[in-house]
């Protein structure tokens, strides 16, 4: 038995409360090393007399299932409902040669009755407190997001466009190119988005700022005048809600814009500024005699002198930012906040932020921008989700760039799922591209088959999927500037192949959700299952530039199936043939 590969930790992603009655318990072991695992445990206070009349702890064992496997590990799972919400437990591990008891204290023989009855040597979930259960809004699981970069989406009101506005879509896109996109343009296109199946709008920053991207906020309480005003934003929120769409705004609380009144007060008054402690200033002055920023005198986002970093631990600065979040919730009824550079702000700030916004709207969705393991932010006291870039990388590297093979894809997805509890994974914000990344169409070299396959994966995996505006018309862009091109508007947009494909993926995702099981993978082909208590559907994928015949799994061999994507009835034999980058979504009849 390869003991060094075996892993479990209580009160973690390996043992957590799924709801107020249910515990999920997981165990990791080396791939193909352990033949069976049993969960051994009980309420720590359940002691009964034995045949000698002596009281002893009543242990009960239950088989665990092997839920997932990677190239290195097997992952075991069980769901239990402790009667009194208390539970102490260990694992009986059998590799076909020996059987061991694995508890918090270590590995022991199952014949060691002294250790076996020592209740304090076991892993413990002391009490399932309902208040500690991770809880995100239920509506998120069924939300199909559409990210909009407002300046480049649609120009609905020429009268408020910047003076230096360019003709829509013309010229080379730069970070300083203004095309006049605005909120009215978004309102005008809501029916189009509804036709696609979208029911969640994520808007990058809309507050006053001199830039195209608006991540250098000047006034958090004011809609940028080139985007519109409070009235049109209220119209946008109301019209979206009437169509069953949620609205998420982007909060930039890590840093302010250089031209914000608070920072300009520091520039003007130096050490005498009432706002000097709102920022991380190392020395004064912060500008030279010509008014240019003195690099290194204050902390910034990245090394950008025009984005001074906010001291969110300062009492007044913290309250100012939290009040901003509350203002847009209470006055306009937004449904979610996406939090920019969230990982560089203190956990203490986010705990206070969550308490405040959840009190204002318990059903608000909070998404943090992080690009790494984010367990510390997803304990139920800060964020509901983060932008799921590990999933992004897995799909892009498997399909678009061919950097990893089928095994690498399965490994990455499974490891991502075991990084967080299942109730966190259910609401993760999944994406393939954004304003910060190259676009999928560019990474896939414009290959229609690859692009469609990537979107199928996005909508079939666990989480809340989001597409970047223009994905449905094949917009391209190789970096964070050129990925922000003007949206292409044509009368035939709804008939374009990516539009119809995404619409069908969204329809299937809304109808079929549930758990994930990888069943087969070989030579860049996959068969995996999405299932719950009501249905079980199978995705068969050929991620190769050539036709391939795939052996079918027992559940589908010699069966009549309903191919859901194309709505066809098919009769399978022992294999199925798929074209290059082909796929099927089937349900056994």
Integer Cα distance of 157 and 186 in angstroms: 11
- Spot the catalytic one: 74, 369, 426, 472: 369
Query: Is 80 exceeded by the pLDDT of residue 493?
Result: no
Whether 178 and 151 have beta carbons less than 8 Å apart is answered as: yes
Integer Cα distance of 523 and 210 in angstroms: 50
Task: Identify any residues that bridge with 79 across adjacent strands, giving them in sequence order.
Answer: 24
Integer Cα distance of 205 and 254 in angstroms: 13
- Other CB atoms closer than 10 Å to residue 158's CB: what's the count? 10
Whether 5 and 71 have beta carbons less than 8 Å apart is answered as: no
Residues with Cβ within 8 Å of 43's Cβ and at least 6 positions away in sequence, in order, are: 82, 83, 84, 86, 87, 88
Cis ω for the linkage preceding 229 (within 30 of 0): no
- The pLDDT value recorded for residue 231 is 98
Phi, psi of 431 (to 5 degrees): -155, 160
Which range (41-55, 153-167, 500-514) has the least confidence? Answer: 41-55
Helices (H) and strands (E) in the chain, counts: 13, 30
If asked whether residues 482 and 555 sit together in one domain, one would say no
Integer Cα distance of 544 and 547 in angstroms: 8
Whether 385 and 364 have beta carbons less than 8 Å apart is answered as: no
Q: What's the domain count of the chain?
A: 4
Q: How confident is the model at residue 492 (pLDDT cuts 50, 70, 90)?
A: confident
Query: Is 90 exceeded by the pLDDT of residue 183?
Result: yes
Q: How confident is the model at residue 494 (pLDDT cuts 50, 70, 90)?
A: confident
Side-chain-facing half-sphere of 218: CA atoms under 13 Å = 13
Last residue of a domain, one of 132, 160, 195: 132
If asked whether residues 171 and 57 sit together in one domain, one would say no
User: Any alpha helices (H) in 8-141, and if so which ranges?
Assistant: 113-116
Task: Identify any residues that bridge with 365 across adjacent strands, giving them in sequence order.
Answer: 336
In this prediction, residues 153-167 reach a mean pLDDT of 96
Query: Is 80 exceeded by the pLDDT of residue 491?
Result: no
- The pLDDT value recorded for residue 54 is 86
Phi, psi of 385 (to 5 degrees): -165, 170
Whether 126 and 34 have beta carbons less than 8 Å apart is answered as: no
- Other CB atoms closer than 10 Å to residue 264's CB: what's the count? 16
Integer Cα distance of 307 and 490 in angstroms: 37
If asked whether residues 10 and 113 sit together in one domain, one would say yes
If asked whether residues 440 and 522 sit together in one domain, one would say no
Integer Cα distance of 211 and 217 in angstroms: 9
If asked whether residues 70 and 81 sit together in one domain, one would say yes
If asked whether residues 356 and 505 sit together in one domain, one would say yes
Catalytic, 188? Answer no
- Spot the catalytic one: 182, 216, 335, 340: 340
Last residue of a domain, one of 486, 511, 536: 511
Residues with Cβ within 8 Å of 334's Cβ and at least 6 positions away in sequence, in order, are: 237, 247, 248, 249, 328
Over residues 307-361, the pLDDT tens digits come to 999 999 999 999 999 999 999 999 999 999 999 999 999 999 999 999 999 999 9
Catalytic, 208? Answer no
If asked whether residues 78 and 161 sit together in one domain, one would say no
User: How far is CA 257 from its chain centroid?
Assistant: 27
- The pLDDT value recorded for residue 496 is 82
Question: Which has the closest alpha carbon to 440: 403, 468, 407, 408?
Answer: 468
Question: Which has the closest alpha carbon to 103: 85, 124, 86?
Answer: 124
Question: Which has the closest alpha carbon to 402: 529, 550, 523?
Answer: 523
Last residue of a domain, one of 98, 132, 166: 132
Q: pLDDT exceeding 90 applies to what percent of the chain?
A: 95
Query: Is 90 exceeded by the pLDDT of residue 9?
Result: yes
If asked whether residues 294 and 441 sit together in one domain, one would say no
Query: Is 90 exceeded by the pLDDT of residue 182?
Result: yes
If asked whether residues 113 and 249 sit together in one domain, one would say no
DSSP secondary structure of 416-441 = HHTTS-HHHHTT-EEES--TTS--HH
If asked whether residues 458 and 395 sit together in one domain, one would say yes
Integer Cα distance of 310 and 301 in angstroms: 9
Integer Cα distance of 128 and 457 in angstroms: 35
Whether 28 and 6 have beta carbons less than 8 Å apart is answered as: yes
- The CATH number of whichever domain residue 73 belongs to comes to 2.60.40.10
- The shares of helix, strand and coil residues in the chain, as percent rounded to the nearest 5, are 30, 25, 45
- The pLDDT value recorded for residue 495 is 76
Q: How confident is the model at residue 365 (pLDDT cuts 50, 70, 90)?
A: very high
If asked whether residues 237 and 250 sit together in one domain, one would say yes
Residues with Cβ within 8 Å of 270's Cβ and at least 6 positions away in sequence, in order, are: 276, 284, 285, 286
Over residues 187-244, the pLDDT tens digits come to 999 999 999 999 999 999 999 999 999 999 999 999 999 999 999 999 999 999 999 9
More confidently predicted of 171 and 65:
65
Q: How confident is the model at residue 2 (pLDDT cuts 50, 70, 90)?
A: very high
Whether 216 and 258 have beta carbons less than 8 Å apart is answered as: yes
Over residues 436-487, the pLDDT tens digits come to 999 999 999 999 999 999 999 999 999 999 999 999 999 999 987 889 999 9
Straight-line distance from the first to the last Cα atom of the chain, in angstroms, rounded to the nearest whole number: 42
Domain that holds residue 285: 255-311
In this prediction, residues 147-166 reach a mean pLDDT of 96
If asked whether residues 319 and 300 sit together in one domain, one would say no
Three-state secondary structure string covering 445-501: CCCHHHHHHHHHHHHHCCCEEEEECCHHHCCCCCCCCHHHCCCCCCCCHHHCHHHHH
- The CATH number of whichever domain residue 407 belongs to comes to 3.20.20.80
Mean pLDDT score of the chain: 96
- The pLDDT value recorded for residue 12 is 97
- The CATH number of whichever domain residue 545 belongs to comes to 2.60.40.1180
């Amino acid at each position: 038995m390869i003991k060094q590969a075996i892993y479990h930790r209580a009160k973690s992603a390996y043992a957590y409360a799924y709801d107020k009655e249910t515990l999920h318990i997981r165990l990791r072991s080396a791939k193909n090393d352990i033949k069976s695992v049993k969960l051994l445990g009980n309420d720590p206070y359940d002691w009964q007399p034995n045949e000698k009349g002596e009281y002893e702890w009543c242990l009960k064992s239950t088989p665990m299932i092997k839920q997932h496997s990677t190239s290195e590990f097997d992952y075991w799972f069980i769901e239990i409902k402790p009667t009194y919400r208390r539970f102490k437990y260990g694992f009986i591990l059998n590799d076909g040669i020996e059987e061991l008891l694995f508890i918090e204290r270590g590995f022991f023989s199952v014949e060691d009755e002294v250790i076996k009855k020592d209740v304090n040597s076991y892993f413990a979930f002391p009490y399932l407190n309902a208040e500690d259960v991770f809880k995100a809004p239920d509506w998120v699981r069924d939300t199909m997001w559409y990210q909009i970069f407002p300046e480049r989406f649609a120009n609905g009101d020429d009268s408020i466009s910047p003076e230096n506005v360019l003709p829509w879509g013309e010229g080379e896109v730069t970070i300083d190119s203004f095309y006049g996109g605005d909120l009215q343009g978004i309102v005008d296109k809501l029916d189009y988005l509804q036709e696609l199946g979208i029911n969640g709008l994520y808007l990058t920053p809309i507050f006053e700022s001199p830039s195209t991207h608006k991540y250098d906020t000047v006034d958090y309480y004011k809609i940028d005048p080139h985007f519109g005003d409070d009235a049109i934003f209220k119209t946008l929120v109301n019209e979206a809600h009437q169509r069953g769409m949620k609205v998420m705004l982007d909060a930039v609380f890590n840093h302010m814009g250089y031209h914000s009144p608070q920072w300009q007060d520091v520039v003007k008054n130096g050490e005498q500024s009432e706002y000097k402690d709102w920022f991380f200033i190392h020395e004064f002055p912060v500008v030279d005699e010509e008014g240019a920023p003195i690099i290194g005198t204050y902390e910034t986002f990245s090394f950008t002198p025009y984005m001074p970093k906010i001291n969110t631990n300062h009492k007044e600065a913290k309250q100012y930012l939290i009040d901003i979040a509350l203002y847009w919730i209470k006055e306009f009824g937004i449904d979610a906040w996406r939090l920019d550079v969230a990982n560089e702000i203190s956990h203490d700030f986010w705990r206070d932020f969550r308490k405040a916004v959840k009190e204002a709207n318990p059903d608000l969705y909070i998404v943090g921008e992080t690009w790494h393991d984010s367990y510390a932010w997803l304990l139920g006291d800060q964020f509901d989700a983060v932008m799921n870039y590990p999933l992004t990388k897995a799909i892009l590297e498997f399909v678009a760039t061919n950097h990893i093979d089928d095994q690498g894809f399965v490994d990455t997805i499974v490891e991502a799922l075991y990084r967080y509890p299942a109730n966190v994974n259910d609401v993760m914000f999944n994406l393939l591209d954004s304003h910060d990344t190259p676009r999928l169409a560019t990474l896939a070299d414009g290959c229609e088959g690859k692009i469609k396959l990537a979107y199928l994966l996005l909508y079939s995996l666990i989480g809340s999927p989001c597409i970047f505006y223009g994905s449905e018309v094949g917009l391209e862009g190789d970096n964070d500037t050129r990925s922000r091109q003007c949206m292409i508007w044509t009368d035939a947009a709804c008939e374009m192949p990516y539009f119809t494909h995404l619409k069908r993926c969204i329809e299937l995702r809304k109808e079929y959700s549930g758990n994930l099981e990888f069943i087969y993978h070989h030579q860049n082909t996959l068969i995996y299952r999405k299932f719950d208590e009501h249905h079980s559907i199978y995705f068969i994928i050929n991620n190769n530039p050539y036709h391939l015949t795939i052996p079918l799994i027992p559940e589908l061999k010699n069966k009549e199936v309903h191919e859901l994507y194309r709505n066809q009835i098919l009769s399978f034999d022992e294999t199925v043939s798929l074209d290059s980058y082909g796929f099927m979504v089937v349900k056994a009849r």
